[in-house]
Amino acid sequence: MGLRERKKERTRAELQRHALRLFRDQGYAATTVDDIAAAADVSRSTFFRYFPTKEDVVLLDDVDPVMERVAAELPVGTPLIEAVRIIVRDAFGSLDDEARALEEVRMDLARTIPEIAAILRERNSFGVEQIAGMVSRGIGRPADDPEVLLFAGVVVGARYAALARVHAGRTTSYLDELDAMLSRLVTGIPLADEPIRAPRPDPARSPA
């Protein structure tokens, strides 16, 4: 990029950084575009030159290009599930402490603000088709190959499992929990061969 483009990228990144700080400290709904512009020391019109809406500040993802670079540098022969772990871990590991913390804020907003979550679902962000496309390019098989789709579905399932742990208060770091979930898949799907036993009564439904 030329100097002009680099300056625009820096301004966009600074606007997002200030916005995420405000969202974290005073809440998404309580933060206005004027608040963000003031924190970044720019005008309201400047904000809208970079982001059409407040939601777009959360939707901006600067980590994807890093993931693409990490994926391109993986050694030939790396097992797929380990490759996914490396891509996620190294991409987010390249962030400094503040950037990583703010990325956690961004992802938390992406799953808790309904209008943002709806846009991400529409874009299939980190969804089966997106992952299947990445896998197909890496192994040279069609994206609609049943095995490719199944693998992509398992990875998405690990993501939702990590989110469930966060929502349940079992962990505060989605990124760390996602890595832990993916590590469980390295040797296969846990419980896949676990035999079904006699079902136990649900304590919540037991008679008083």
Regarding whether 135 and 45 lie in a shared domain, the answer is: no
Domain boundary at 38, 56, 74, which? 56
Regarding whether 51 and 114 lie in a shared domain, the answer is: no
What pLDDT sits at residue 63? 77
Q: What is the CATH number of the domain that holds 120?
A: 1.10.357.10
What pLDDT sits at residue 48? 95
Residue 172 tokens read as: 């505060």
Contact 36, 17 (CB under 8 A): no
Residue 90 tokens read as: 């190294």
Regarding whether 26 and 66 lie in a shared domain, the answer is: no
Note the pTM of the prediction, 2 decimals: 0.69
Residue 201 belongs to a domain: no
Q: What is the CATH number of the domain that holds 28?
A: 1.10.10.60
What pLDDT sits at residue 204? 64
Regarding whether 79 and 32 lie in a shared domain, the answer is: no
Regarding whether 78 and 31 lie in a shared domain, the answer is: no
CA 157 to centroid of chain Cα atoms: 13
Residue 197 belongs to a domain: no
Regarding whether 31 and 84 lie in a shared domain, the answer is: no
What pLDDT sits at residue 124? 60
What pLDDT sits at residue 166? 85
Segments forming the whole domain that contains residue 39: 3-56
Contact 66, 91 (CB under 8 A): yes
Residue 40 belongs to a domain: yes
What residue spans of the chain are helical by DSSP H?
A: 3-26, 33-40, 44-50, 54-59, 64-72, 80-93, 97-112, 114-123, 128-139, 146-167, 174-184
The DSSP annotation for 47-74 comes to HHHH-SSHHHHHH--SSHHHHHHHHHTS
78 burial class (0-12, 13-18, 19+ CB within 10 angstroms)? middle
Regarding whether 78 and 11 lie in a shared domain, the answer is: no
Residue 206 belongs to a domain: no
109 burial class (0-12, 13-18, 19+ CB within 10 angstroms)? buried
CA 13 to centroid of chain Cα atoms: 17
Residue 164 tokens read as: 């469930």
Residue 108 belongs to a domain: yes
Q: Return d(Cα 63, Cα 78) in angstroms, integer.
A: 22
Tens-digit pLDDT string for the chain (208 aa): 678 888 888 899 899 999 999 999 999 999 999 999 999 999 999 999 999 999 999 988 777 778 878 888 888 899 999 998 998 888 888 888 888 888 888 888 887 888 888 887 777 666 788 788 888 988 899 999 999 999 999 998 998 898 889 888 888 788 889 999 999 998 888 888 888 887 666 666 655 5
Residue 87 belongs to a domain: yes
Regarding whether 42 and 82 lie in a shared domain, the answer is: no
Our count of domains for the chain comes to: 2
Residue 100 belongs to a domain: yes
